Amino acid sequence: METPLELVREQLLRKQFPQIADLRNQVHISYWSDYHLISQQLLNHLPFGRSLGLTTFYQYIDYQFDNLLVEARRNLLFWTLLGANHFNRTPVTQTTLFFDETFFWHYYIPVRTREITEAILQGNRIRFLSQFCLSQAQIEVEFNEIRLCTTDSGTQLVYCHSKEYTYKWLTTVWEVNIINHEQALVNPANFS
């Protein structure tokens, strides 16, 4: 028989977190964590698996980061209420989500290659969410940029490291860091 405290905890979980995402079932992301459940609301605020043009990128960082912070905090609460533990019975305190390279470069990009290429040729920067890290100390949101690279074999889309936005819970300030000043290009065809 459940104690009154356990009943209240279960009611809170059902009311506050009606939808839970199982990361094992997500085709557009990969994850690094021993624990595979996060709130669906948090996942809904992470635009993995799609390209972000100039307008959508700045709308996201200017207007959605506050919502992302709320959902990240709520996800930490979800793990606490659930009593989520790693395989060694230590509490779950962090997770890292990555874009799935196969999905992004072999399913999403081929359908949009022409549109993305034209946008880049018109001088627009195209980015995509490459990583999201949530911990008890901070969140990190990393974006990569898609570029055109012309070689002897033709023009192809490649990506380079770009910016990382870090929000530390104690300082309540977003920091922006350039990940790679040299803009090393990566050819996604090498991931096939």
Segment 61-118, tens digit of pLDDT: 999 999 999 999 999 999 998 888 877 888 998 999 999 999 999 999 999 999 999 9
**Has residue 58 got a pLDDT over 90?**
yes
Q: How many Cβ atoms sit within 10 Å of the Cβ of residue 190?
A: 9
Question: Which tokens in the block code for residue 38?
Answer: 């996060």
Counting the structural domains of the chain, the total is: 1
Give pLDDT, residue 191.
Answer: 43
